[in-house]
């Protein structure tokens, strides 16, 4: 495809999707992915792919279609993207978060990197195939899903549970977040490809106390007990545990940058990597961060109950250790319970699919060094791993050296460079033609 065709398609689609507000608030408000699902389904149909919309609840729409390959003996590949985004407060942004405006060489808006950019790349690629009459060898299943931002209950997990037949024959899956560049120097860029995700433990902590008048001395104050427990768990440093994917990234980074993996303070070494250190540092160990507090109804009443919410993430193979350490750190007077739990997953950085991802990156960037890495967050891949698929994150972008890529996720002024979108579309096209 020509650069003009790419510009008129992938950028336009990305902007269009951003303008469709699919903010996922959770609770009773939830999200409304239906308009985005209808937009996506129309583009799939125009590319000759039969698209079916599946609603898990009214408005919570998922779109799935299959491109039939030329070789039915080969296993199918799944490409999955999510349509929902986290909310954004327009007053905080330089450019309105749902404008999809192209400004200063970048597409601005909520979802620009998480992950309407990848949705646009996929749709643009299959649109170009339809124009040229190209068909891949393997069947390719396309899934555009709801509710990823709040655990995939109404998206990936729902569709795997209720419509597993849609993914018949799929042995491997490609989704977010991976294939983005980390610049070492002008001639060398690492491209982390996601081969693992930490597991998810979202939990509620509860402290019990004695309710009473706010003017009186109260030595059994639930808020005080909870605050101390939140501080203990929130500041606790879990032990370092290096998994295969993390080791693969660290060894490649050490070779490229001189990182000293034998140093006593590995965290300090990782910090030398710059903005990407936040993403990598979170994969050295289990983590638990406080995110919400609830207590009381009146300023002059000491409440009898106080609650806090934590976002806990555990490494593959360390779930039991994580939960045991949480209980130990909190102590006997604080109870905790799961409000959402999801698996950790890890696969090897090997095989024909990895080779194809690497070759596709090198076809567009001779200075590319593909490397494995673990994602500290989670994606819809967790749902598809339950079907036995090997799951990877590969949403290719060549980024400017000074971009804090991790900071754009869920951040203010989320945006993606147009050049990065065009690069990603070319890489994805090369990859899908050579699998």
pLDDT, tens digit, 9 for 90 and up, residues 13-45: 999 999 999 999 988 788 899 999 999 999 999
Burial code (b: 16+ CB inside 10 Å, e: under 16) for 302-341 equals bbbebbbbbbbbbbbebbeebbebbeebbeeebebeeeee
Q: Cβ atoms within 10 A of the Cβ of 132, count?
A: 8
* SS (HEC) of the chain: CCHHHHHHHHHHHHHHHHHCCCECCCCCCCCCCHHHHHHHHHHHHHCCCCEEEEEEECCEEEEEEEECCCCCCCCEEEEEEECCECCCCHHHCCCCCCCCCEECCEEECCCCCCCHHHHHHHHHHHHHHHHHCCCCCCCEEEEEECCHHHCCCCCHHHHHHHCHHHHCCEEEEEECCCCECEEEECCEEEEEEEEEECEEEEEEEEEECCCEECCCCCCCCHHHHHHHHHHHHHHCCCCCCCCHHHHHHHHHHHHHHCCCCCCCCHHHHHHCCHHHHHHHHCCCCCEEEEEEEEECCCCCEECCEEEEEEEEEECCCCHHHHHHHHHHHHCCCEEEEEEEEECCEECCCCCHHHHHHHHHHHHHCCCEEEEEEEECCCCCHHHHHCCCCEEEECCCECCCCCCCHHHHCCCCCCEEEHHHHHHHHHHHHHHHHCC
Residue 358's pLDDT is 97
At residue 55, does pLDDT exceed 90? yes
At residue 6, does pLDDT exceed 70? no
Walk me through the domains of the chain, giving residue ranges and CATH numbers: 3-195+345-433 (3.40.630.10), 199-241+285-342 (3.30.70.360)
* SS (HEC) of 139-165: CEEEEEECCHHHCCCCCHHHHHHHCHH
At residue 7, does pLDDT exceed 60? no
Confidence of residue 306 (pLDDT cuts 50, 70, 90): very high
Q: Are 130 and 47 in contact (CB under 8 A)?
A: yes
pLDDT, tens digit, 9 for 90 and up, residues 330-372: 999 999 999 989 999 999 999 999 999 999 999 999 999 999 9
Mean pLDDT for the stretch of residues 105-132:
96
What percent of the chain clears pLDDT 70, i.e. is strictly above it? 98
Confidence of residue 377 (pLDDT cuts 50, 70, 90): confident
At residue 209, does pLDDT exceed 70? yes
* Distance in angstroms (rounded) separating the CA atoms of residues 365 and 362: 5
Mean pLDDT for the stretch of residues 387-405:
94
Mean pLDDT for the stretch of residues 71-98:
96
Confidence of residue 5 (pLDDT cuts 50, 70, 90): very low
At residue 1, does pLDDT exceed 70? no
pTM to 2 decimals? 0.91
Mean pLDDT for the stretch of residues 44-66:
97
Q: At 85, list the tokens.
A: 């985004």
At residue 3, does pLDDT exceed 80? no
């Amino acid at each position: 495809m020509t650069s003009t065709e790419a510009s008129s398609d992938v950028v336009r689609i990305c902007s269009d999707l951003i303008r469709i507000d699919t903010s996922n608030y959770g609770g009773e408000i939830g999200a409304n992915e239906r308009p985005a699902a209808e937009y996506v389904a129309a583009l799939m149909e125009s590319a000759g792919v039969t698209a079916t919309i599946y609603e898990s609840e009214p408005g919570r729409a998922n779109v799935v279609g299959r491109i039939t390959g030329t070789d039915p003996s080969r296993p199918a590949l799944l490409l999955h993207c999510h349509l929902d985004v986290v909310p954004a407060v327009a007053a905080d942004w330089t450019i309105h978060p749902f404008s999809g405006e192209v400004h200063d060489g970048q597409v601005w808006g909520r979802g620009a990197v998480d992950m309407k950019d990848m949705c646009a790349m996929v749709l643009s690629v299959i649109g170009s195939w339809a124009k040229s009459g190209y068909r891949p060898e393997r069947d390719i299943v396309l899934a555009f899903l709801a509710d990823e931002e709040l655990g995939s209950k109404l998206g990936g997990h729902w569709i795997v549970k209720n419509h597993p037949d849609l993914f018949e024959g799929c042995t491997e899956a490609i989704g977010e977040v991976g294939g983005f560049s980390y610049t070492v120097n002008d001639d060398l860029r690492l491209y982390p490809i996601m081969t693992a995700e930490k597991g998810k433990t979202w939990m509620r902590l509860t402290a019990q106390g004695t309710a009473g008048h706010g003017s009186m001395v109260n030595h059994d104050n639930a808020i005080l007990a909870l605050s101390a427990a939140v501080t203990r768990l929130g500041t606790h440093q879990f032990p370092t545990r290096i998994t295969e994917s993390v080791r693969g990234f660290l060894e490649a980074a050490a070779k490229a940058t001189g990182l000293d993996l034998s140093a006593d303070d590995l965290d300090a070494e990782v910090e030398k990597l710059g903005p990407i250190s936040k993403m990598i540092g979170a994969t050295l160990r289990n983590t638990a961060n406080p995110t919400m507090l609830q207590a009381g109804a009146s300023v002059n009443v000491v409440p009898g109950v106080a609650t806090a919410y934590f976002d806990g993430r555990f490494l593959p193979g360390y779930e039991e250790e994580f939960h045991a350490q949480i209980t130990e750190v909190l102590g006997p007077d604080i109870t905790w319970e799961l409000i959402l739990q999801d698996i950790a997953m890890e696969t090897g950085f090997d095989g024909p699919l990895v080779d194809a991802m690497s070759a596709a990156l090198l076809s567009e960037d001779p200075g590319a060094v593909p490397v494995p890495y673990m994602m500290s967050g989670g994606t819809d891949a967790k749902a598809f791993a339950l079907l036995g698929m090997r799951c990877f994150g590969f949403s290719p972008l060549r980024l400017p050296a000074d971009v804090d890529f991790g900071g754009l996720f869920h951040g203010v002024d989320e945006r993606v460079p147009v050049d990065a979108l065009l690069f990603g579309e070319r890489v994805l096209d090369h990859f899908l033609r050579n699998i």
